[in-house]
Structure 1
Amino acid sequence: MIERSAVHPTAQDASPKPDRADGRWARRLRWAGVCLVYLVIAGLVMAVLVQQPVSRLEGIAASAHRARYVGLAVQAVALGLLVAFWPGVVRWAATRGIVAPTEVHQVLAWRWKLAGWFTVFILFVGIGVGDLVHFGSAVMQAARGIVR
Protein backbone atom coordinates (compact mmCIF):
# COMPACT_ATOMS: atom_id res chain seq x y z
CA MET A 1 0.00 0.00 0.00
CA ILE A 2 1.02 3.60 -0.38
CA GLU A 3 2.08 5.46 2.69
CA ARG A 4 0.63 8.91 2.99
CA SER A 5 4.03 10.36 3.87
CA ALA A 6 5.45 9.05 0.59
CA VAL A 7 2.69 10.71 -1.40
CA HIS A 8 2.40 14.02 0.41
CA PRO A 9 5.31 14.58 2.80
CA THR A 10 4.18 17.86 4.33
CA ALA A 11 1.01 19.82 4.75
CA GLN A 12 2.85 22.78 3.27
CA ASP A 13 2.93 21.05 -0.13
CA ALA A 14 -0.86 20.62 0.00
CA SER A 15 -1.49 24.37 -0.16
CA PRO A 16 -3.44 25.38 -3.27
CA LYS A 17 -1.48 26.77 -6.16
CA PRO A 18 -2.14 30.36 -7.13
CA ASP A 19 -4.64 30.73 -9.95
CA ARG A 20 -2.82 31.99 -13.03
CA ALA A 21 -4.94 33.28 -15.88
CA ASP A 22 -2.04 33.15 -18.37
CA GLY A 23 -1.60 29.40 -17.76
CA ARG A 24 -5.29 28.82 -18.40
CA TRP A 25 -5.17 30.68 -21.70
CA ALA A 26 -2.03 28.81 -22.74
CA ARG A 27 -3.79 25.48 -22.08
CA ARG A 28 -6.85 26.62 -24.00
CA LEU A 29 -4.73 27.74 -26.95
CA ARG A 30 -2.86 24.44 -26.91
CA TRP A 31 -6.15 22.50 -27.02
CA ALA A 32 -7.45 24.78 -29.77
CA GLY A 33 -4.28 24.08 -31.75
CA VAL A 34 -4.67 20.33 -31.33
CA CYS A 35 -8.31 20.55 -32.44
CA LEU A 36 -7.30 22.62 -35.46
CA VAL A 37 -4.68 20.04 -36.47
CA TYR A 38 -7.26 17.23 -36.19
CA LEU A 39 -9.73 19.26 -38.26
CA VAL A 40 -7.14 19.85 -41.00
CA ILE A 41 -6.21 16.14 -41.08
CA ALA A 42 -9.88 15.12 -41.26
CA GLY A 43 -10.44 17.62 -44.09
CA LEU A 44 -7.47 16.27 -46.05
CA VAL A 45 -8.66 12.67 -45.62
CA MET A 46 -12.16 13.62 -46.75
CA ALA A 47 -10.77 15.50 -49.77
CA VAL A 48 -8.84 12.39 -50.84
CA LEU A 49 -11.81 10.07 -50.26
CA VAL A 50 -14.22 12.26 -52.24
CA GLN A 51 -12.00 11.91 -55.32
CA GLN A 52 -12.00 8.08 -55.18
CA PRO A 53 -14.37 5.96 -57.28
CA VAL A 54 -17.12 4.09 -55.43
CA SER A 55 -15.59 0.67 -56.11
CA ARG A 56 -12.36 1.74 -54.44
CA LEU A 57 -14.27 3.21 -51.47
CA GLU A 58 -15.92 -0.16 -50.84
CA GLY A 59 -12.49 -1.79 -50.62
CA ILE A 60 -11.25 0.96 -48.28
CA ALA A 61 -14.32 0.49 -46.05
CA ALA A 62 -13.74 -3.29 -45.92
CA SER A 63 -10.09 -2.77 -44.97
CA ALA A 64 -11.06 -0.29 -42.26
CA HIS A 65 -13.60 -2.77 -40.87
CA ARG A 66 -10.92 -5.48 -40.64
CA ALA A 67 -8.42 -3.04 -39.08
CA ARG A 68 -10.96 -2.20 -36.37
CA TYR A 69 -10.09 -5.42 -34.55
CA VAL A 70 -6.45 -4.36 -34.33
CA GLY A 71 -7.61 -1.23 -32.50
CA LEU A 72 -9.73 -3.35 -30.18
CA ALA A 73 -6.73 -5.55 -29.39
CA VAL A 74 -4.64 -2.45 -28.60
CA GLN A 75 -7.41 -1.16 -26.30
CA ALA A 76 -7.64 -4.53 -24.54
CA VAL A 77 -3.86 -4.61 -23.97
CA ALA A 78 -3.94 -1.01 -22.70
CA LEU A 79 -6.76 -1.94 -20.31
CA GLY A 80 -4.80 -4.95 -19.04
CA LEU A 81 -1.72 -2.81 -18.45
CA LEU A 82 -3.76 -0.13 -16.69
CA VAL A 83 -5.30 -2.70 -14.34
CA ALA A 84 -1.95 -4.42 -13.76
CA PHE A 85 -0.12 -1.19 -12.96
CA TRP A 86 -3.03 0.60 -11.23
CA PRO A 87 -1.18 1.19 -7.92
CA GLY A 88 1.68 2.85 -9.81
CA VAL A 89 -0.75 4.99 -11.81
CA VAL A 90 -2.46 6.11 -8.59
CA ARG A 91 0.88 6.84 -6.95
CA TRP A 92 1.95 8.92 -9.97
CA ALA A 93 -1.39 10.80 -9.94
CA ALA A 94 -1.03 11.46 -6.21
CA THR A 95 2.46 12.91 -6.60
CA ARG A 96 1.20 15.18 -9.40
CA GLY A 97 -1.72 16.41 -7.30
CA ILE A 98 -4.37 14.77 -9.49
CA VAL A 99 -5.49 12.52 -6.62
CA ALA A 100 -5.74 14.05 -3.16
CA PRO A 101 -3.75 12.28 -0.44
CA THR A 102 -6.93 11.53 1.48
CA GLU A 103 -8.43 9.80 -1.57
CA VAL A 104 -5.50 7.51 -2.49
CA HIS A 105 -6.85 4.39 -0.76
CA GLN A 106 -10.32 4.95 -2.20
CA VAL A 107 -8.94 5.33 -5.73
CA LEU A 108 -6.81 2.22 -5.28
CA ALA A 109 -10.01 0.31 -4.50
CA TRP A 110 -11.51 1.35 -7.85
CA ARG A 111 -9.22 -1.01 -9.79
CA TRP A 112 -11.79 -3.73 -10.54
CA LYS A 113 -14.66 -1.29 -11.07
CA LEU A 114 -12.50 0.48 -13.64
CA ALA A 115 -11.68 -2.84 -15.31
CA GLY A 116 -15.36 -3.77 -15.46
CA TRP A 117 -16.52 -0.46 -16.89
CA PHE A 118 -13.77 -0.36 -19.52
CA THR A 119 -14.54 -3.97 -20.49
CA VAL A 120 -18.21 -3.03 -20.94
CA PHE A 121 -17.10 -0.02 -23.00
CA ILE A 122 -14.89 -2.16 -25.26
CA LEU A 123 -17.65 -4.74 -25.71
CA PHE A 124 -20.55 -2.42 -26.48
CA VAL A 125 -18.84 0.56 -28.11
CA GLY A 126 -15.70 -0.94 -29.64
CA ILE A 127 -17.10 -4.25 -30.81
CA GLY A 128 -20.71 -3.19 -31.05
CA VAL A 129 -24.02 -4.71 -30.13
CA GLY A 130 -24.59 -6.02 -33.67
CA ASP A 131 -21.36 -8.01 -33.71
CA LEU A 132 -22.09 -9.35 -30.22
CA VAL A 133 -25.55 -10.53 -31.35
CA HIS A 134 -24.01 -12.20 -34.43
CA PHE A 135 -21.43 -13.91 -32.24
CA GLY A 136 -24.09 -15.04 -29.77
CA SER A 137 -26.28 -16.46 -32.53
CA ALA A 138 -23.29 -18.29 -34.03
CA VAL A 139 -22.49 -19.81 -30.63
CA MET A 140 -26.13 -20.87 -30.22
CA GLN A 141 -26.15 -22.48 -33.67
CA ALA A 142 -22.94 -24.35 -32.85
CA ALA A 143 -24.37 -25.49 -29.53
CA ARG A 144 -27.51 -26.80 -31.23
CA GLY A 145 -25.37 -28.71 -33.71
CA ILE A 146 -23.36 -30.35 -30.91
CA VAL A 147 -26.44 -31.31 -28.88
CA ARG A 148 -28.22 -33.00 -31.82
Structure 2
Amino acid sequence: MSGQAPCPLFVGIRSEDFDTAAELRKLEQGRTDIGAIVTFTGLCRDESGTLSALELEHYPGMAEAEINRIARQAIARWPITALTIIHRYGLIRPGENIVLVAAASWHRHAAFEAASFLMDYMKTDAPFWKREHLADGSVGGWVSSKDEDEKMRERWKQS
Protein backbone atom coordinates (compact mmCIF):
# COMPACT_ATOMS: atom_id res chain seq x y z
CA MET A 1 0.00 0.00 0.00
CA SER A 2 1.43 3.36 -0.93
CA GLY A 3 2.07 5.79 1.89
CA GLN A 4 2.16 2.99 4.44
CA ALA A 5 5.19 2.56 6.69
CA PRO A 6 6.83 -0.88 6.78
CA CYS A 7 4.71 -3.31 8.78
CA PRO A 8 6.38 -4.81 11.87
CA LEU A 9 6.09 -8.58 11.50
CA PHE A 10 6.82 -11.18 14.17
CA VAL A 11 6.67 -14.90 13.36
CA GLY A 12 7.45 -17.34 16.15
CA ILE A 13 7.40 -21.13 16.01
CA ARG A 14 8.02 -22.71 19.37
CA SER A 15 7.14 -25.56 21.69
CA GLU A 16 6.34 -23.45 24.76
CA ASP A 17 2.93 -21.88 25.31
CA PHE A 18 2.28 -18.18 24.77
CA ASP A 19 0.32 -15.54 26.66
CA THR A 20 -2.07 -13.87 24.22
CA ALA A 21 -2.45 -10.72 26.34
CA ALA A 22 1.34 -10.32 26.65
CA GLU A 23 1.76 -10.74 22.89
CA LEU A 24 -0.88 -8.07 22.26
CA ARG A 25 0.86 -5.68 24.65
CA LYS A 26 4.09 -6.16 22.66
CA LEU A 27 2.27 -5.56 19.37
CA GLU A 28 0.61 -2.35 20.66
CA GLN A 29 3.56 -0.94 22.61
CA GLY A 30 4.31 2.65 21.63
CA ARG A 31 1.86 2.56 18.72
CA THR A 32 -0.76 5.25 18.19
CA ASP A 33 -1.51 4.41 14.55
CA ILE A 34 -3.48 1.23 15.32
CA GLY A 35 -7.25 1.55 15.07
CA ALA A 36 -8.11 -2.15 15.28
CA ILE A 37 -6.52 -5.44 16.26
CA VAL A 38 -8.14 -8.73 15.34
CA THR A 39 -6.84 -11.81 17.10
CA PHE A 40 -7.40 -15.47 16.45
CA THR A 41 -6.25 -17.99 19.02
CA GLY A 42 -6.55 -21.63 18.01
CA LEU A 43 -6.83 -24.07 20.91
CA CYS A 44 -6.40 -27.82 21.18
CA ARG A 45 -9.87 -29.30 21.53
CA ASP A 46 -11.08 -32.70 22.66
CA GLU A 47 -14.38 -33.27 20.89
CA SER A 48 -14.88 -36.88 22.00
CA GLY A 49 -13.35 -36.80 25.49
CA THR A 50 -10.64 -39.28 24.50
CA LEU A 51 -7.75 -36.98 23.54
CA SER A 52 -4.68 -36.88 25.76
CA ALA A 53 -2.64 -34.59 23.48
CA LEU A 54 -2.27 -33.40 19.93
CA GLU A 55 1.21 -33.90 18.51
CA LEU A 56 2.27 -31.17 16.10
CA GLU A 57 5.42 -31.57 14.01
CA HIS A 58 6.85 -29.02 11.62
CA TYR A 59 9.59 -28.68 9.04
CA PRO A 60 12.06 -26.29 10.77
CA GLY A 61 13.14 -23.40 8.58
CA MET A 62 10.56 -24.18 5.93
CA ALA A 63 7.63 -23.55 8.30
CA GLU A 64 8.99 -20.11 9.25
CA ALA A 65 9.66 -19.27 5.60
CA GLU A 66 6.18 -20.31 4.50
CA ILE A 67 4.43 -18.39 7.27
CA ASN A 68 6.53 -15.32 6.43
CA ARG A 69 5.56 -15.71 2.75
CA ILE A 70 1.86 -15.91 3.64
CA ALA A 71 2.21 -12.92 6.01
CA ARG A 72 3.86 -10.83 3.27
CA GLN A 73 0.92 -11.64 0.98
CA ALA A 74 -1.52 -10.36 3.61
CA ILE A 75 0.56 -7.22 4.20
CA ALA A 76 0.60 -6.52 0.45
CA ARG A 77 -3.15 -7.04 0.19
CA TRP A 78 -4.43 -5.04 3.20
CA PRO A 79 -3.18 -1.94 5.08
CA ILE A 80 -1.78 -3.92 8.01
CA THR A 81 0.21 -1.85 10.52
CA ALA A 82 1.56 -4.73 12.65
CA LEU A 83 1.34 -8.51 12.58
CA THR A 84 2.16 -11.24 15.09
CA ILE A 85 1.94 -14.94 14.27
CA ILE A 86 2.88 -17.67 16.73
CA HIS A 87 2.50 -21.39 16.07
CA ARG A 88 3.38 -24.13 18.51
CA TYR A 89 4.71 -27.63 17.93
CA GLY A 90 5.20 -30.65 20.17
CA LEU A 91 2.63 -32.30 22.44
CA ILE A 92 -0.23 -29.92 23.12
CA ARG A 93 -2.89 -30.80 25.69
CA PRO A 94 -6.61 -30.07 25.31
CA GLY A 95 -7.34 -26.45 26.22
CA GLU A 96 -3.81 -25.25 25.43
CA ASN A 97 -2.97 -22.68 22.76
CA ILE A 98 -1.82 -23.83 19.32
CA VAL A 99 -1.73 -20.70 17.17
CA LEU A 100 -2.06 -16.94 17.52
CA VAL A 101 -2.66 -14.48 14.70
CA ALA A 102 -2.89 -10.81 15.69
CA ALA A 103 -3.44 -8.41 12.80
CA ALA A 104 -3.41 -4.66 13.45
CA SER A 105 -4.63 -2.02 11.04
CA TRP A 106 -6.03 1.48 10.88
CA HIS A 107 -9.52 0.00 10.43
CA ARG A 108 -11.29 -3.19 11.50
CA HIS A 109 -12.17 -4.51 8.03
CA ALA A 110 -8.55 -4.91 6.97
CA ALA A 111 -7.62 -6.54 10.28
CA PHE A 112 -10.49 -9.05 10.06
CA GLU A 113 -9.77 -9.91 6.44
CA ALA A 114 -6.03 -10.30 6.98
CA ALA A 115 -6.46 -12.53 10.05
CA SER A 116 -8.94 -14.75 8.21
CA PHE A 117 -6.71 -14.95 5.12
CA LEU A 118 -3.68 -15.85 7.24
CA MET A 119 -5.46 -18.68 9.04
CA ASP A 120 -6.97 -20.07 5.83
CA TYR A 121 -3.57 -20.19 4.13
CA MET A 122 -1.61 -21.40 7.16
CA LYS A 123 -4.07 -24.25 7.70
CA THR A 124 -3.33 -25.64 4.22
CA ASP A 125 0.13 -24.34 3.23
CA ALA A 126 2.30 -24.18 6.36
CA PRO A 127 4.26 -27.45 6.79
CA PHE A 128 2.78 -28.71 10.06
CA TRP A 129 1.55 -32.24 10.68
CA LYS A 130 -0.64 -33.45 13.50
CA ARG A 131 -1.75 -36.69 15.08
CA GLU A 132 -3.78 -37.58 18.12
CA HIS A 133 -2.49 -39.20 21.30
CA LEU A 134 -5.45 -40.81 23.04
CA ALA A 135 -6.13 -41.25 26.75
CA ASP A 136 -5.91 -45.05 26.35
CA GLY A 137 -2.26 -44.69 25.28
CA SER A 138 -2.81 -45.30 21.57
CA VAL A 139 -1.52 -42.94 18.88
CA GLY A 140 -3.50 -42.16 15.76
CA GLY A 141 -2.21 -41.64 12.24
CA TRP A 142 -1.12 -38.32 10.80
CA VAL A 143 -4.12 -36.12 9.99
CA SER A 144 -4.42 -34.48 6.56
CA SER A 145 -6.09 -31.16 5.83
CA LYS A 146 -9.83 -31.23 5.27
CA ASP A 147 -11.66 -30.38 2.05
CA GLU A 148 -13.32 -27.51 3.94
CA ASP A 149 -9.87 -26.03 4.69
CA GLU A 150 -9.03 -26.12 0.97
CA LYS A 151 -12.35 -24.43 0.09
CA MET A 152 -11.73 -21.66 2.61
CA ARG A 153 -8.28 -21.05 1.11
CA GLU A 154 -9.57 -21.02 -2.47
CA ARG A 155 -12.15 -18.31 -1.76
CA TRP A 156 -9.30 -15.78 -1.47
CA LYS A 157 -8.28 -16.41 -5.08
CA GLN A 158 -11.70 -15.18 -6.19
CA SER A 159 -11.69 -11.95 -4.16
TM-score category, normalised to shorter length: under 0.3
- TM value normalised by structure 2: 0.24
More strand per residue: 2
- TM value normalised by structure 1: 0.25
* Structure whose CA Rg is larger: 1
More helix per residue: 1
